[in-house]
Homo-oligomer: A and B are copies of this chain.
Amino acid sequence: MTRTVTMAAATAGHAEGGSTLNAFDNALLAAGIGNINLIKVSSIIPPDVSIVELPKIKPGALIPTAYAAATSEVPGETVAAAVGYALPDDPAKAGVIMEFHGVGTREAAERAIEAMLDEAFRVRGETMREMRVVAVEHTVERIGCALAAVTLLAEEDLV
């Protein structure tokens, strides 16, 4: 794209909803990204990108995002979603994002992400400068969703 990604921000949220899509929408709102257009990407942080706290994004902006969502209609079930990123020692190299969703706890999702990032760096022959995992769990009342995301942002996306 002609868009220049200069920032990445991770976030997570969870919610109930009247349908699985509303639960997903409500989890996006809880995560602060419910009024933008997510474009799913797999899943690289470009070199020279700053990690930032989630900024205020223009409503309806088209935002490349690596995300994972776990929805369930089983009352009492706990679902979890996590994303994590790792940045290499060499700032000219790309970072890697991994996503996880499934039945289980936040801690299990975090461990899954860490193992995936470790492998991604091992196979690339890179050493990590920094790793961060953002995870969330949700115990379903009726219909619920756990959502975690890394947004890839350009200056023009911000309010």
Contacts and interface: CB of A to CB of B under 8 A. Distances in A.
Interface of A: 1-3, 5, 17-19, 21-22, 24-26, 28-29, 34-47, 49, 58-62, 64, 93-94, 96, 98-100, 112, 115-116, 119-120, 123-124, 152, 154, 156
User: How many copies of the polypeptide does the oligomer hold?
Assistant: 3
B37 A62 contact: no
A113 to B, nearest CB: 9
Given A1-B2, A22-B119, 18 more contacts: A1-B3, A17-B119, A19-B116, A21-B98, A21-B99, A25-B120, A25-B123, A29-B123, A34-B124, A36-B44, A37-B41, A37-B42, A37-B152, A38-B41, A41-B62, A46-B60, A46-B61, A59-B93
